[in-house]
Structure 1
Amino acid sequence: MHALLIVAGTGLLAALAGGVRLDVGRWAAFAGIMTAGVLVFSTLGFAIAYLARPRAATVMANLLFLPLAFASGFFFPLSELPAVIGDVAPYLPTFHFGQLAYRAVMPASDVAVFTGAATQPVALHVAWVVGSAVLLGAAALLAARREAVTRRG
């Protein structure tokens, strides 16, 4: 529910203050992808929460999420970043998630220009995002079980 409120608030701000104009279908697709992203990447958050001590969890999350976002081209197009980052980006789940989000609001040809990365099939991006969610979810489950065993003694 919280994710839906954030997505709706961000969309409202984009439309009112940013002048973003999309048809209803694109707004719905974008909102769906953003909400799904919260669910997908929450697995990483859970893994961090179970693996790190409470005071270190926020630091670890920032040390992971910010570089992932940067290396995925969220802050600058990949074409404007060092070549090594562009070489690494296709192996990051955040890159593929970004490609799905961009494709929801603009044509594929514009995505390539905007991001500085060649477009790939949507199925490839979905597979990367879902696969990473499964792997991160498994890591979170293993960490949760480890913590449960540790607490029981």
Structure 2
Amino acid sequence: MKNDLVFKTGLVKRALGWLVCLGAVVALVAIIYGIFTHPESQTPSELSSGAVIGVFLVGLAWAGIAIQNMRWSIEGENIIYHGLFKNRTIPLSKLAGFGQLTVIVMAFPFQHVDFYDRQLAHVARLPVSLKDWPKAEAWLAARLRYVVNDGSHILPKLRFADTPKI
């Protein structure tokens, strides 16, 4: 059974991904230009550090592209997380609850949905845009229980919403 529920990252996070990717590419081009225009003034240690920085910048550009492609979909009784190179399948039978996590960075909210198993162990954290959250919440609430965190993100005190506080 094919379902058309596909959830992507929010607009702000995708813009951040473009910023990271383009910034890394510009810095990499600047390093390459500097090395090739002045090869006589480069020492071997400068060349090796330039290569290490170049590898780091390629990884940073890859991370920016990965942010652009982050999405997850619901297909039948599975949640499919589509990564850059491979997909991860999470069967709904493995899950018992879900919760919402909103992180606000400089007035920009980044929203995620957390999935938990029956022992309230964290299974996955997947991004969702603010406009897609009501649709995702309605679909998940019909199949899973809410998980409430009475603690903090550092010291969580997780419980299902229908169990009393202890």
- For Structure 1 versus Structure 2, the TM-score category normalised by the shorter chain is under 0.3
More strand as a share of residues: 2
Give the TM-score normalised by the residue count of structure 1. 0.28
Give the TM-score normalised by the residue count of structure 2. 0.26
Bigger Rg, which one: 2
